[in-house]
Chain A
Amino acid sequence: MATLDSKIPSGPLAEKWRKHKTEIKLVNPANKRKYEVIVVGAGLAGSSAASSLADLGYKVKCFVFHDSPRRAHSIAAQGGINAAKNYQNDGDSVHRLFYDTLKGGDYRAREANVHRLAEVSVNIIDQCVAQGVPFAREYGGLLANRSFGGAQVSRTFYARGQTGQQLLLGAYSALSRMVGAGAVDLHTNSEMLDLVVVGGQAKGVIIRNLVTGEITRHSADAVILATGGYGNVFNLSTYARGSNATAIWRAYKRGACMANPCYTQIHPTCIPVSGDYQSKLTLMSESLRNDGRIWAPKKAGDTRAPAAIPESERDYYLERLYPSFGNLAPRDIASRAAKRVCDEGRGVGSTGLGVYLDFADAIKRLGEPAVRERYGNLFDIYHEITAESAYKAPMRIYPAVHYTMGGLWVDYNLMSNIPGLFVLGEANFSDHGANRLGASALMQGLADGYFVIPYTIGDYLAGQKPGSRPAAEAPEFQQAEANVRGQTTRFLATKGKQPVSHFHKKLGKIMWDRCGMARTKAGLEAALQEIPALREEFNASVNVPGSADTLNQSLEQAGRVADFLDLGELMCRDALTREESCGGHFREEHQYPDGECKRDDEKFGHVAAWEYQGEGKTPVRNTEALNYEFTKMSVRNYK
């Protein structure tokens, strides 16, 4: 059994991080260049980490499967990034951001981690502005803010509807500077396909060059995974098509524990599915809920055009159910409310799986130009996809998979249970509990990369003798490489009947039906039969054309879908075992009469960290108790 020591420092909550920074071991500047660190991923978390570590003097090698670091999925974040600056003087503070995030996560995150996140949030904004991130400003020249779900203050910084893009380009410019200076050795089109563990410690990776097919071994003193989330298990999601779980899944198979895999976030405001050819779902940023009002017809089966439905026959259900948060209720709550409305037959659009997000009042109040200034690009996206104008008629929206709170287990230093393996950003499980609040993933990614890992990696490296990293010829590297080659050969040799996409779609449907917005014991048990059966079919009849020594997108996809099949099964297992509802994990058996989540803190006030036991064996479920020293785990109330 893995030992899960969270290494949370002692002392008062607000002092822990400061104290920890003064107590952890440091690597002296002259020694830093003797350590080599591998960073896999260059989204917000990876590029901020790689550039900061290189700036400190470490030798950094960075791998991304994209053709450029600037294409990481972080680029797509729209709405904004939270920080406890209190520039609006509306009562915000580090403590309030901490509390909102912890409560938003339905009390399933660690207090100490969340507090640290809130503390460094203020430095992130400073850092980004210094890099030239063009955040929105007021006429006086100061930074502007907007509100996001689950908060009653205005603490979200944004750059039009492209906040993630601007933050990533900031981090990318920092990374580019270090690449230009020769301090980061950047490898694009390079996919990590295995983790190499030597003597119980993470010491390297196996990389496949996606363009040439070449497979190489890379040894290092420590390995950082910043490879993003795994929402594409569901096939349809708001993620980029290429986002995948391969890096974390292969690390899991090497012994890293996978924490709370069932915690997934379903975002309430996405453009509904239009057909079975659909490849992705497009998010309509949560920021729209600042001014848009969500409603559905009161009557089931009402097919009138929205304009023909009089005010008195509309149900602004979020405003009705959650008067104090209204349209800004947290995501999990807003998504389930939309699902219920549609389950009652009150959904809109041709599929009946949709509700309205209406800007008519905002346009009346602010005028169309002001609405255009705030949300113009989102309205444009909506128009491109649906050929409808949201200035004239309400948007149709429906929930879609958007984020994964689960991920590899890490301690307070962001190190997994495999010493030397660090996990940052969405790939880890650390800060969002069972539900992430809007605008806090960008915050976490940059916190991890700019402000946490530069300190905490030293604590591990100081214990490693400089120059002691193994040679890439070590048997562990050879074995891992053989493992990768074996899989590639198997895929190409199967020569079955079905394209990879066939299996991905089928898996996605199982996951959405059984492990989506509402989960039941029976459904999850069924999924645990269906997924292994689908895996067998995949192994027997997948068709991967082409060869291994050129760009082969089918081959890339085959590896990713194979991992999704395994991970999907683990998610269902985790969801089945967690006999409670919390945040994004909603078990129909566990709810209050009003349909809200019913947690069981006594039995499940813990992190579940799954440990791989080998092919075909049931994994072991380890737990880390969540000890709340400063906050009371209470029932979330947004009414």
Chain B
Amino acid sequence: MVAASTLKTFSVTLRVWRQAGPAATGAFVDYPAKDISPDMSFLEMLDVVNDELTAKGIEPIAFAHDCREGICGTCSCTINGKPHGPGKGIATCQTYMRSFNDGDTIVVEPFRARAFPVVKDLVTDRAAFDKIQQSGGFITARAGSAPDANALPIPKGDADLAMDAAQCIGCGACVAACKNASAMLFVSAKVGHLGLLPQGQAERDRRVLAMVNTMDTLGFGSCTNQYECSAACPKLISHDFIARMNRDYLTASLRSAFKPAPANTGGGAA
């Protein structure tokens, strides 16, 4: 962590990626951010800068955000080269200005990855994650047909480990941090979460095959075990889940080699 600021308020220079639209060419532009309180969040600082830009007749910087408490996965800035900024285990919106110092130049860019095209300025299109989920990231359970919840005890250790994986907020920092722009951490978190639970066994093979294959077709790179992903992950999802998924994938591939199963069947009323 960067040393906490001691000044009451301070000033920094923002070097921000501005890009008018998906097809436009972007460039860095510098803006001053003055009289910043160390207790402001990074996004609140952007709010203040944006109001100033608006007053000057300059279009404000588009940036993605919503919950502003680290859970929705919307915010997605790369700050000084790090997806989500300097703090460990937090999202952009949980970054506070006390992590910076008077006079700093702060470089702010969108998450960069081939599968996440820039929409405008700092906003990217992460729909690829939804497509991966739609291909198999679920347990089929029609409303009304579930057995009693306690009919199936689950060892606490398994449930806790599943929860560790399930905490993924779908932000894409893992992809942005990876030099290959691989989505393995994100996919393995979902595969791990559902695969660890007894309810998830019936579709386990189909799920891992479908999700990994979809990931591959969407332009994400492959994993070369550098683990930049888990270091940038705001939920500190462990790369152990990647190893676990690789095993699952192998087993499922072998099994399906003998008994081919359709990979992408949603079920229901299509």
A interface, CB within 8 angstroms of B: 32-33, 48, 51-52, 54-57, 66-71, 73, 75-76, 85, 87, 123, 125-132, 134-143, 159-160, 162, 165-166, 169, 172-174, 176-183, 186, 188, 211, 240-242, 274-275, 277-280, 282, 381, 384-385, 387, 450-451, 454, 497, 499, 501-502, 543, 545-546, 550-551, 553-554
Closest to B40 in A: A277
- Known: A52-B143, A381-B94; 18 extra A-B contacts, CB below 8 A, are A67-B125, A68-B73, A68-B127, A73-B67, A75-B67, A126-B146, A137-B154, A141-B154, A174-B143, A181-B265, A186-B130, A240-B68, A274-B37, A279-B44, A279-B68, A385-B94, A387-B98, A451-B144
Other-chain contact of B148, A54, A126, A179, A384 (Cβ < 8 Å) = A126
Interface membership of chain B positions 130-173, coded 1 if the CB is closer than 8 angstroms to chain A and 0 otherwise: 10011111111111111111101111100110110011011000
Closest 8 CB pairs of A and B: A181-B266, A141-B153, A180-B134, A173-B138, A130-B146, A130-B141, A126-B146, A129-B149
Partner of A143, one of B54, B134, B150: B150
Q: Is the interface of B mostly helix, strand, loop or mixed?
A: loop
B143 contacts A137, CB within 8 Å?
no
Complex Cα distance, B146 from A450, in Å, reads: 12
B147 to chain A, nearest CB (A): 7
Cα of A142 to Cα of B156 in the assembled complex, Å = 8
Q: Is B57 an interface residue (CB 8 A)?
A: yes
Interface residue from B98, B135, B156, B268 paired with A54 (Cβ < 8 Å): B268
Collect the chain A residues with CB atoms within 8 Å of residue B138's CB.
131, 173-174, 176-177
- 8 A-B pairs in the complex with CB atoms less than 8 angstroms apart: A48-B143, A67-B64, A138-B156, A160-B163, A160-B167, A179-B266, A501-B47, A550-B20
Closest to B37 in A: A275
> With an 8 A cutoff between CB atoms, is B39 at the interface?
yes
A499/B51 contact (C-beta < 8 A), A141-B153, A242-B66 known: yes
| Partner pick for B73 among A70, A85, A174, CB 8 A cutoff | A70
Q: Which of B71, B123, B150 has the most CB of A within 10 A?
A: B71
Question: For residue A501, which residues in chain B have a CB less than 8 angstroms away from its CB?
Answer: 47, 51
Contact with A along B24-47 (1 / 0, CB 8 A): 000000000000010111011101
Which residues of chain A come closer than 8 Å to B94, judged between CB atoms? 381, 384-385
Contact at B48–A277, with CB atoms within 8 Å?
yes
Residues on B close to A: CB < 8 A?
4, 20-21, 37, 39-41, 43-45, 47-48, 50-51, 54-55, 57-60, 62, 64-74, 87, 90, 94, 96, 98, 119-120, 123, 125-127, 129-130, 133-150, 152-156, 159-160, 162-163, 166-167, 169-170, 193-194, 197, 199-200, 264-270
User: Which residues of the other chain, A, contact B119 by a CB distance below 8 angstroms?
Assistant: 211, 551
Contacts A132-B200, A280-B69, A554-B54; is A70 near B170 (CB within 8 Å)?
yes
A173 touching B139 in the complex, CB below 8 Å, given contacts A129-B152, A183-B266, A551-B120: yes
Contact of A131 among B62, B141, B148 (CB under 8 A): B141
